[in-house]
């Protein structure tokens, strides 16, 4: 049993590390296409060896450590950041199972009944590495970046937790495999499109991606918490960010987009995961690639928002909206169970979309008031 866990854990780490390397190429080529540029295309055919060239460059790049840093914490901070981005994926199911030499092999490392609690706890640990990196650098800009990251995590972690609650209510379980199987007949994004949209916005803030990349704001903080890092120590921060992008897209696909399941109208066809187990990882891979493109598209399109508005958006808009969406979901499912009319469930997406319009109206009103000086 323990050998199986070690092998599956090693393969999962290998997948994430390879995914991190080629996500950088994917992002650079996608941004280049959106900005009418070419992008990296010199190292290997179509630039496919560019991630390897970047890795070799970072390995041999000289590392500079400022003289007045707190050295032990300074060296440990990148490790504390990158490790949670790897271990958090242990409970995400990549598929069903298959038989190998008479033994059933499941396509996940761990099957926890409280898998969502595991995700929330590990996701909260990563910010410690960022805060400690800013503090140990003995640099005011780096310290401000670490403080911003912790404040941002606290603000958006509440909304993230409520998005998890929405998925728990619809799936009637905290086990990620049960939540995926509950979407066999209908993906949760259809029943709760507003919840899926808010989840994608919140995870952008959680992984410090544009337009929520205030902890790294070059124009203000000269790269923020990792301003004093170079070489492989900087590469670990870079690795953690991109691995977290992959992992949060896997979580989003699992909670709202059917995970490794096929489209619900294909469940009785030859494209069903129940017939061919290897289709599960393929479906999940496609969904992750599409969601990653969404994150890259946002970076290429939206400007960085001001820090006070970032915090205001988290506390005044997203948190009340997530509370409303969780309440609507719970009441809708309760009414279906009590009254026995399945058509009532369609009130959930309708009311959720109305809640989004109310939130947008509130944002427009708030911006109008600020533009006229009535804050």
Q: Which of 110, 93, 103 is nearest to 182 (CA)?
A: 93
Distance (Å, rounded) from C-alpha 153 to C-alpha 214?
12
Sequence-distant (≥ 6) Cβ neighbours of residue 364 within 8 angstroms:
none
Average pLDDT over residues 193-197: 92
Q: How many residues does the chain have?
A: 375
Task: Report residue 180: phi and psi, to 5°.
Answer: -65, -45
Q: How many CB atoms lie within 10 A of CB 39?
A: 16
Sequence-distant (≥ 6) Cβ neighbours of residue 271 within 8 angstroms:
262, 279
- pLDDT the model gives residue 39: 86
- pLDDT the model gives residue 178: 92
Average pLDDT, the chain: 86
Question: Regarding predicted confidence, which is higher, 163 or 152?
Answer: 163
Distance (Å, rounded) from C-alpha 235 to C-alpha 125?
19
Whether pTM exceeds 0.85: yes
- pLDDT the model gives residue 92: 92
pLDDT single digits (tens) 4-33: 888 888 898 899 989 998 999 999 999 999
Q: Which residue has the tokens 């289709």?
A: 279
Q: Indicate if the pLDDT at residue 203 is higher than 70.
A: yes
- pLDDT the model gives residue 372: 62
Task: Report residue 291: phi and psi, to 5°.
Answer: -65, -35
pLDDT single digits (tens) 170-183: 998 999 999 999 99
Average pLDDT over residues 318-329: 91
pLDDT single digits (tens) 112-124: 888 899 998 888 7
- pLDDT the model gives residue 373: 57
**Any bridge partners for residue 97, and if so which?**
106
Percent of the chain whose predicted confidence (pLDDT) is above 70: 97
Question: Regarding predicted confidence, which is higher, 126 or 372?
Answer: 126
The first and second tokens of residue 234, run together, are 């900087």
């Amino acid at each position: 049993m323990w050998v199986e866990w070690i092998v599956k854990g090693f393969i999962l780490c290998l997948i994430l590390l390879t995914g991190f390397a080629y996500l950088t190429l994917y992002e650079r080529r996608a941004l280049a296409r959106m900005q009418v540029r070419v992008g990296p295309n010199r190292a290997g055919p179509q630039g496919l060896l560019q991630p390897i060239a970047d890795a070799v460059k970072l390995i041999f790049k000289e590392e500079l450590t400022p003289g007045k840093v707190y050295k032990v914490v300074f060296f440990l901070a990148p490790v504390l950041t990158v490790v949670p981005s790897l271990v958090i994926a242990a409970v995400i199911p990549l598929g069903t199972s298959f038989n190998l030499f008479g033994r059933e092999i499941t396509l996940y490392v761990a099957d926890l009944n409280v898998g969502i609690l595991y995700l929330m706890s590990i996701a909260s640990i990563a910010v410690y590495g960022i805060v400690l990196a800013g503090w140990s650098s003995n640099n005011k800009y780096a310290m401000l970046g670490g403080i911003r990251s912790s404040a941002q995590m606290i603000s958006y972690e509440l909304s993230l937790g409520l998005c998890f609650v929405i998925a728990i209510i619809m799936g009637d379980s905290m086990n990620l495999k049960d939540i995926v199987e509950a979407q066999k007949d209908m993906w949760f994004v259809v029943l709760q499109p507003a919840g899926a949209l808010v989840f994608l916005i919140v995870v952008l803030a959680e992984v410090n991606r544009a337009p929520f990349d205030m902890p790294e704001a070059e124009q203000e903080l000269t790269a923020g918490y990792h301003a004093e890092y170079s070489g492989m120590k900087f590469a670990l921060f870079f690795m953690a960010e991109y691995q977290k992008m992959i992992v949060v897209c896997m979580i989003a696909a699992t909670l709202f987009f059917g995970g490794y399941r096929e489209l619900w109208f294909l469940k009785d066809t030859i494209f069903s995961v129940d017939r061919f187990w290897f289709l599960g990882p393929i479906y999940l891979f496609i969904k992750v690639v599409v969601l990653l493109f969404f994150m890259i598209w946002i970076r290429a399109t939206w400007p960085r928002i001001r820090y006070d508005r970032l915090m205001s958006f988290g506390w005044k808009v997203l948190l009340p909206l997530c509370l409303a969406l969780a309440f609507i979901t719970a009441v809708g499912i309760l009414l279906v169970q009590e009254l026995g009319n399945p058509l009532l469930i369609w009130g959930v997406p309708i009311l959720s979309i109305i809640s989004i319009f109310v939130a947008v109206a509130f944002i427009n009103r708030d911006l109008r008031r600020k533009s006229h000086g009535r804050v």
